[in-house]
Structure 1
Amino acid sequence: MKKRAFISFDIDNDEGAKRMLAGQAKYSDSPFTFKDNSVKKHLTGDWKEKVRRRMDNVDVVIVLCGTKTHTATGIADELSIAKAKKKPYFLLAAYSNKHCTKPTSADVSDKLYNWTWDNLKSLIKGNR
């Protein structure tokens, strides 16, 4: 059974990488499905509550880390929500040829994994 994934990413800097990751969900051997829950514009009211509700319906949170992730407060908040909800998550480097950074809410022990198809499939299955 495919896992439902929430992708947390920096919309200002890494939207192209997120599109590629979401595209991989369409592969016939993909272990995950993806519903685009990203916030395209500022949510009115309590946006964090809206993110919490969106995370209720996922099995895993993928934190897509780019070069400016450490400055993206929305990603830090989304990761904090995932942790509070005890959702399994992992950090995935958006680029193999650039220095990718972790969100400020990441634990020191959180590993930043290289984005390869084999790695992604393994991580989705819980091998981390």
Structure 2
Amino acid sequence: MSKKKVFVSCDFDNDQMLKDFIIGQARLADSPFEVVDHSLKEAAPEADWPKRARAAIKRSELVLVMVGPQTHRAQGVLKEVALACEEGVPIVQIIGYKDGSYPAVPNAGRLYSWNWDNLKRLLS
């Protein structure tokens, strides 16, 4: 079975651990997806960051946005979502914390709870 190639977008400054957790789940034997790339640290963005992000998103079959309290305002995430939309790459949003009721990222589709059944269904 071929695994779906996923680009993980997250608010790097506030929720980097969400990226680490989803990468861990991608490594499980029964995972239907693999993480091919993820958000880059944007505090000191390189001049070619948009070009590199676009290339990474184009290599992916889906963009997975890991949503935390401030993700809907994170400039890097907003740019990655815009790039995915421009490239026609589907986007899925997952709430990153069990106790979270956070705003969705604009233009990134419906928000889903983070559980293994949802991941398997959405990312297979």
TM-score scaled by length of structure 2: 0.90
In structure 2, the residue corresponding to 1:78 is in which secondary structure?
Answer: helix
Q: Which runs of 5+ in 2 are unaligned?
A: none
Matches within 5 A, 1:14-93: 14-40=15-41, 42-93=44-95
CA displacement at 1:72 relative to structure 2 = 0.5
CA displacement at 1:36 relative to structure 2 = 3.9
Q: Which runs of 5+ in 1 are unaligned?
A: none
Instruction: Decide whether the 8 Å contact of 2:32 with 2:123 is kept in 1.
Output: yes
CA displacement at 1:39 relative to structure 2 = 1.0
- From the two aligned structures, give the one with the greater helix fraction: 2
In structure 1, the residue corresponding to 2:8 is in which secondary structure?
Answer: strand
Post-superposition Cα deviations, 1:10-34, rounded to whole Å, max 9, x if no partner, equal 0111111211111000100000111
Q: CA RMSD in A?
A: 1.4
In structure 1, the residue corresponding to 2:117 is in which secondary structure?
Answer: helix
CA displacement at 1:98 relative to structure 2 = 1.8
Query: Sequence identity of aligned pairs in percent?
Result: 34
CA displacement at 1:106 relative to structure 2 = 1.9
**Residue 101 of structure 2 corresponds to which residue in structure 1?**
99
In structure 1, give the amino acid aligned to 2:118.
Answer: N
How many Å separate the matches in 1 of 2:38 and 2:114?
21
Runs ≥4 residues deviating over 4 A: none
1:19–1:86: structure 2 CA closer, same or farther, 3 Å change rule? Answer: same
In structure 1, give the amino acid aligned to 2:55.
Answer: R
CA displacement at 1:92 relative to structure 2 = 0.7
In structure 2, give the amino acid aligned to 1:89.
Answer: I
